[in-house]
């Protein structure tokens, strides 16, 4: 069914400047007139604006949604995004991707949703995911030691930060370990989950959320100060499918380098994008708080703090808060 | 005498397209014909190419030397380089600057030399300083605690690295604490010396050496592999006075920010330029060697190492060597 839809979309795009006769669709794709009418209605339901006259159909508007056809069109990747599953609404894209991965979905398969009912942040925190954002999970099957899988969070962070930086040229930074900031406001988060089988990586789910085209006012008041969206910062609508395309292309390059053992070099890029290093921070973990100056990250991506008494401490994970203390 | 020379140079520059009559020089500056002849000869001795005819003098060539007039011409600084002392050859520009500072030379006074007989690297090491390089010392009198004076080495490193990066766009990096590299080869070094009086900073000497226009072949064989020059990398001659000008302008901005308490922000720029962070290094100090992964620098500019056993160590100073170990 999707195949037919894509074929019709291709015809409509190819003839964007004139009307495409119904008969031409029927004969080119070899379907009945009833099927054509149905498919055109499906496309309209998805948000495509299609003008109908006696001469045929003409595509006059494309919805700003992460529709598979729109992402794949002109996508320059080898394997990332060759299979895209789109949903109007899911509980969480990571959950759907887990099901697909268990059923054997190929490396590079992507799940995108227009909104999530119960998107997840790290450590079970709720992640507000209304329409207008990028809610996406990538299924990866890297041949690496499971202990190295969390490094993919940092690799993804570099890809997201570089993509957003190229898109908007704002003051993009990465807050350790996995938040992307514009200035000091969060615009994107990454949640990586690993499944092992017999001591080896079965699959890795890389979940990415980006606040794209939503108004800040929809965030709950307690989050409003700390969150922003690209639209709020740039005061214009962003084309989501194009942004995802650019992200996938950049991520594929970095992921290939990662698999070839270049994590050290990618970490150098991460450090340059870091807005945590050099800041005085609080790291919250399991009810305990560590305070200190973030002086660096080590080769595994652990945060190195210099505490007030001058001692050095490695932090593996936790919620990091940038403070104003100098 | 310098005043007269500068006035003649200004006249020659102003009339660069035509011949400047001797009489015009005499009347404008109010000197005798004999003095004019002497001054013109002095300028020729310094390397200026001046064409003489019955109609007068015309400047047709300017030597690629760090001559005060050439540096000051179009120099956009408030205090840096307002006084420039140029020497054909000195033992070391830091030594000359120390004498001047003791005699009360103003903040921003600069000593430049075409070559140094016994230029100094850190910890008394000899620094090869032939003609064709930038050998320069800046006298500063910041109102800061003496313990903070070494931070000026890092501030200077940022200014040199950014200047060279802008000049040549090559792979410029800073090797902790004070060497500027192109790729993995040294192109510049910085030596900061502090003099205190009654517990306060009397003056700071910031010595800077840049391998500009020399051929690599003149370096002693044991240094040849580890050193390079801008000319060798770019395969063209660099205008030294213009480069020094750009450096002074950039350094003045950073130095003012440093005095206003922005060392933390400058350190963020230093980290982005660092080629040490993320590398496995050896640090040599007083016959002892520490091995480890350079994971960051703290807010004082100390290097943080993660040793092979996973412990963290702060290194205050020493000779740092980047190794190939990953």
pLDDT in tens, A91-150: 899 999 999 999 999 999 999 998 877 766 655 566 677 778 899 999 999 999 999 998
**pLDDT value at residue B167:** 83
Instruction: Check CB contact under 8 Å for A299 and B277.
Output: no
Element (H, E) at B154: helix B151-168
* B110 part of contact set with chain A, CB < 8 Å: no
Beta strand ranges found along A150-275 (DSSP E): 172-175, 179-182, 185-197, 200-210
Out of A268, A272, A314, the one facing B312 most closely (by C-beta) is A314
Please report which confidence band the pLDDT of residue B224 belongs to, taking 50, 70 and 90 as the band edges.
Answer: low
Share of chain B above pLDDT 90, in %: 71
- Is the pLDDT at B17 greater than 80, yes or no? yes
- Chain B interface disruption, residue of A312, A315, A323, A326, most B CBs within 10 A: A312
Give the CA count within 13 Å in the CB-facing half-sphere of B53.
8
- ipTM comes to 0.76
Tell me: the pLDDT tens digits for A191-242?
A: 999 999 999 999 999 999 999 998 877 777 666 668 899 999 999 999 999 9
What is the rounded distance in angstroms from the CA atom of residue A139 to the CA atom of residue A203?
7
What pTM, to 2 d.p., does this model score? 0.81
**Is the model's pLDDT at B220 over the cut of 80?**
no
Q: Which candidate from B271, B306, B312 shows the least CB-CB separation from A277?
A: B271
Q: What angle do CA A103, A107, A108 make, to 5 degrees?
A: 115
**pLDDT score, position B265:** 93
Facing residue for A298 by CB, picked from B297, B306, B326: B306
- Give the containing element (helix H, strand E) for A93: helix A93-102
- Binary contact (A297, B293; C-beta < 8 A): no
Q: Are B296 and A299 an interchain contact pair (Cβ–Cβ within 8 Å)?
A: no
Nearest to A297 among B295, B297, B314 (CB): B295
Using the Cβ of A271 and the Cβ atoms of chain B, whether some distance falls under 8 Å is answered with yes
B118: contact with A, CB 8 A cutoff: no
Q: Left if phi > 0, otherwise alpha if psi is -120 to 50, otherwise beta: which for B317?
A: beta
Q: What is the pLDDT of residue B111?
A: 96
B137 CB-side CA count, 13 A = 31
pLDDT of residue A249: 97
**Which carries the bigger pLDDT value, residue B171 or residue B131?**
B171
Which residue on chain A is closest to B269 by alpha carbon? A272
Mean pLDDT for the stretch of residues A275-292: 93
A324 in reach of chain B (CB within 8 A): no
Which chain B residue's Cα is nearest to A269? B272
Question: What does the pLDDT look like over B241-284, one tens digit per residue?
Answer: 999 999 999 999 999 999 999 999 999 999 999 999 999 999 99
Task: Say whether pLDDT at B120 is over 80.
Answer: no
- The C-alpha atoms of residue B259 and residue B149 are separated, in whole angstroms, by 11
Closest CA relative to residue B135, chosen from B121, B153, B152: B121
Contacts of B326 in chain A (CB under 8 A): 264
The residues near B3 (Cβ < 8 Å, ≥ 6 apart) are none
Closest CA to A114 of A83, A136, A139: A136
Interface residue A272 vs chain B (CB under 8 A): yes
Domains along chain B with CATH numbers: 2-61 (1.10.10.10), 68-273 (3.30.930.10), 280-322 (2.30.30.100)
A residues 206..265 contacting B (CB < 8 A): 264
Tell me, yes or no, if B74 comes closer than 8 A to chain A by beta carbon.
no
* Interface mutation vs chain A, best among B176, B279, B295, B325, most A CBs within 10 Å: B295
Nearest-angstrom CA–CA distance, A126 and A119: 6
Query: Quick one: pLDDT at residue A125?
Result: 63
Buried b (16+ CB within 10 A) or exposed e, A69-107: bbbbbebebeebbebbbbbeebebbbbbbbebbeeebeb
Best of A264, A298, A316 to disrupt the B interface (most B CBs within 10 Å) is: A298
User: What's the average model confidence in pLDDT over B89-100?
Assistant: 92
Average of per-residue pLDDT across B170-185: 92
Confidence at residue B95, expressed as pLDDT on a 0 to 100 scale: 93
Single out the residue of B50, B53, B71 nearest to residue B62, CA to CA. B50
| Closest CA in chain B for residue A306 | B298
How far is A38 from A29, CA to CA, in rounded Å?
14
pLDDT tens by residue, B185-205: 999 999 999 999 999 999 999
B21 at interface of A, judged by CB pairs closer than 8 A: no
The four Cα atoms A30, A36, A42, A44 give a dihedral, to 10 degrees, of 130
Percentage of chain A exceeding pLDDT 90: 71
Q: Give yes or no for residue B123 having a pLDDT over 60.
A: no
DSSP symbols for B265-306: HHHHHHHHHBSSTTSEEEEEETTEEEEEEEEEE-TT--EEEE
Q: What is the mean pLDDT of chain A?
A: 90
Residue A169 above 90 pLDDT?
A: no
* Mean pLDDT of the A49-69 span: 90
Return the pLDDT at A189. Answer: 92
A296 and B CB contact within 8 Å: yes
Min Cα–Cα distance to chain A from B313, Å: 8
pLDDT band at B226 (very low <50, low <70, confident <90, very high): confident
Residue in chain B closest to A277 (alpha carbons) equals: B268
Per-residue pLDDT at A285 = 86
């Amino acid at each position: 069914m999707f195949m037919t839809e894509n074929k019709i979309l291709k015809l409509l795009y190819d003839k964007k400047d004139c009307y495409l006769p119904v008969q031409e669709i029927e004969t080119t794709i070899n379907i009945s007139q009833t099927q054509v009418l149905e498919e055109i209605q499906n496309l309209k339901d998805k948000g495509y604006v299609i003008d109908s006259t006696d001469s045929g159909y003409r595509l006059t508007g494309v919805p700003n949604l992460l529709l598979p056809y729109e992402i794949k069109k002109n996508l320059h990747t080898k394997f990332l995004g060759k299979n895209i599953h789109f949903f109007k609404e899911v509980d969480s894209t990571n959950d759907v991707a887990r099901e697909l991965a268990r059923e054997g979905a190929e490396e590079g398969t992507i799940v995108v949703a227009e909104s999530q009912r119960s998107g997840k942040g790290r450590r079970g925190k709720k992640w507000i995911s209304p329409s207008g954002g990028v809610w996406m999970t990538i299924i990866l099957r890297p041949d690496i030691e499971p202990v190295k899988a969390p490094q993919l969070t940092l690799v993804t962070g570099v890809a997201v930060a570089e993509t957003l930086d190229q898109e908007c040229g704002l003051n993009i930074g990465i807050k350790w370990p996995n938040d992307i900031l514009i200035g000091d406001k969060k615009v994107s988060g990454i949640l990586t989950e690993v499944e092992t089988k017999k001591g080896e990586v079965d699959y890795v789910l890389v979940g990415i959320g980006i606040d794209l085209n939503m108004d800040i006012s929809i965030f709950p008041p307690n989050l409003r100060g700390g969150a922003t969206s690209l639209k709020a910062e740039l005061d214009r609508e962003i084309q989501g499918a194009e942004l995802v395309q650019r992200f996938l292309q950049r991520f594929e390059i970095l992921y290939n380098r990662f698999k070839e053992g270049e994590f050290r070099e990618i970490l150098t890029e991460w450090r340059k994008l870091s807005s945590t290093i050099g800041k005085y921070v609080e790291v919250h973990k399991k009810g305990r708080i560590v305070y200190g100056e973030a002086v660096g990250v080590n080769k595994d991506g652990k945060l190195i703090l210099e505490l007030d008494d001058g001692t050095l401490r490695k932090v593996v994970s936790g919620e990091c808060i940038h403070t104003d203390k100098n």
